[in-house]
Amino acid sequence: MINCYNHDLFDKKKIPLGWFNNLQSADRKLIERINGYIFSPFSIQPWSESEKDFIKNNLWLDDNNHWFRYTGVKPEKSIFAICIPVHNEASFLPAMLGTILLSHLPKSAKITFLIITNGCTDNGSSQRIIFNFMSLFGEVQKKDINKNPLANKFTDEKIDKSYFLIDIDNIKFIHLNTNSAGKAYAINIANEIALKNNDPILINLDANVFIEPNSFAKMYVLAYEKFIHKPDNTAIIAGDKKADKLPPISASDEFFQKEFSGLNAREILPIIHNQLIPMHGAFMSWNPKSMLEEGGMPHTAVEDDVFAYRAVFNGKKVIKASGAVMWKVEPFTLKSRIIFLSRIIRGWLQAIEQFPYLKSFIKTQVSYMKDSRNGVIYADLKEWQKQNQKISEQTLLAIFQLWSKVYLTGVEEFKKRRFDCSWDDVPGTK
């Protein structure tokens, strides 16, 4: 099986079961062939010629006709970039890159993959994985950023002085590192590169997200319509998020389920999370020029949500690309859920401080940012209870108290990390 530092490509322990089950039979058979072929593309050992030939002959086949059927756009006229922010993602990165290899992308399209490692503290594991993945396609070139500039100007001053590049027909992979930790830094770097390249569409794909083979095509066709063919006031197109299959729960969470009428920890967030803005920033697209005009990606711990709310506040639209499916690994234990939600609170408080004019709008739209002391969140929970008859008053009160704890924890975290937009590892997601 393809191995990467004890993490296998297409390892079912790392890839959501729903993603695998949704594959076409031909893609499943291809994965079986790969898993039966003994070689290690992400290890330190160099690729043999037979291993390279196997990949080239079986993965990323020329899907020009397939692309045109799906998008209605000729491959040679399809121009876009894909940003992959990476922050300590060595665990999921090999499996995520494997899903990209299965994507139906046309080789005659002009596609630039921008893999941006940002503030990684994993002893170089993420960077080595990316380098060895790129070496799959040939000799990776090391470029001096001053002699071979990627952008007219970078706002981030902590970018490395060199980057790595590989060309595959019209498709490029670029790996650039910055010591600035935070997804916003990575996205703003990618946006500045896309502007120099005149890419009309930039797609973000988080490094712990798994897309289906046709997801890029389905995202692109709507982005092409809204940003190029018939541009309107659409600012962001979000992917179609699917929940992954829950792993086995721990003993502590068995107690939690028993006490909370069978709910699992992950079900708490959707209970009072606003759904009017269909934002799932782990897989989204936008026009680089429009993002520049909006002021770039906000530097908060919930950068993509703030990006969307700021756009809507300014009269723009955020829409969902149905069928552009992404499968995302989320915290599923009670402990990890509290950590996850507290960080979200920190991010929203950062947003309110950076963009005071959004304060009322955020507190109107995001239920859990309302003042819990006045009972607004509890009132929202009561509305939810009407749709879930099995939820007792005692359970409802317990969930309300949990959210109060999460909020207070987030406030304390905000005080300590006012300007830190990075995420610490959350148990169960790394």
Percent of the chain with pLDDT over 70: 73
Contacting residues for 20 by C-beta, under 8 A, at least 6 apart: 12, 28, 31
What is the model's pLDDT at position 262?
55
Do the beta carbons of residue 104 and residue 217 sit within 8 Å? yes
pLDDT bracket for residue 374 (50, 70, 90): very low
Stretch 218-223: mean pLDDT, rounded? 96
User: Could you tell me the CATH number of the domain that includes residue 33?
Assistant: 3.90.550
Backbone angles phi, psi at 67, to 5 degrees: -60, -45
What is the model's pLDDT at position 409?
87
What is the model's pLDDT at position 397?
74
What is the model's pLDDT at position 261?
54
What is the model's pLDDT at position 36?
55
* Residue found by looking up tokens 């058979």 in the block: 29
Out of 152-156, 251-255, 334-338, the most confident range is: 152-156
Does residue 245 sit within a domain?
no
The boundaries of the domain holding residue 56 are: 3-231
Residue 114 has pLDDT above 90, yes or no: yes
More confident residue, 31 or 296: 296
Does residue 374 sit within a domain?
no
Backbone CA torsion sign across 112, 1, 331, 429? negative
What is the model's pLDDT at position 206?
94
Does residue 86 sit within a domain?
yes
- Of 249-253, 304-308, 350-354, the range with the lowest mean pLDDT is 249-253
What is the model's pLDDT at position 259?
55
Alpha-carbon distance of 295 to 292, in angstroms, equals: 5
Buried b / exposed e across 79-89, counting CB within 10 Å, b at 16+? bbbbbbbbbbb
Instruction: Specify the number of domains making up the chain.
Output: 1
- Of 3-12, 70-79, 184-193, the range with the lowest mean pLDDT is 3-12
Does residue 43 sit within a domain?
yes
Residue 365 has pLDDT above 80, yes or no: no
Residue 271 has pLDDT above 50, yes or no: no
Stretch 363-390: mean pLDDT, rounded? 64
Does residue 215 sit within a domain?
yes
- Of 53-67, 121-135, 150-164, 288-302, the range with the lowest mean pLDDT is 53-67
What is the model's pLDDT at position 162?
96
More confident residue, 269 or 2: 269
Does residue 60 sit within a domain?
yes
Alpha-carbon distance of 294 to 167, in angstroms, equals: 32
Does residue 286 sit within a domain?
no
Alpha-carbon distance of 351 to 362, in angstroms, equals: 9
The tokens of 354 are what? 């950076």
Pairing relation of β-strands 171-178 and 7-8? unpaired
The secondary structure of 246-257 as a DSSP string is: PPPPPHHHHHHH
Angle among Cα 223, 226, 229 to the nearest 5 degrees reads: 100
Do the beta carbons of residue 98 and residue 62 sit within 8 Å? no
Does residue 263 sit within a domain?
no
Angle among Cα 376, 337, 374 to the nearest 5 degrees reads: 15
Residue 63 has pLDDT above 90, yes or no: no
pLDDT bracket for residue 158 (50, 70, 90): very high
Stretch 374-389: mean pLDDT, rounded? 64
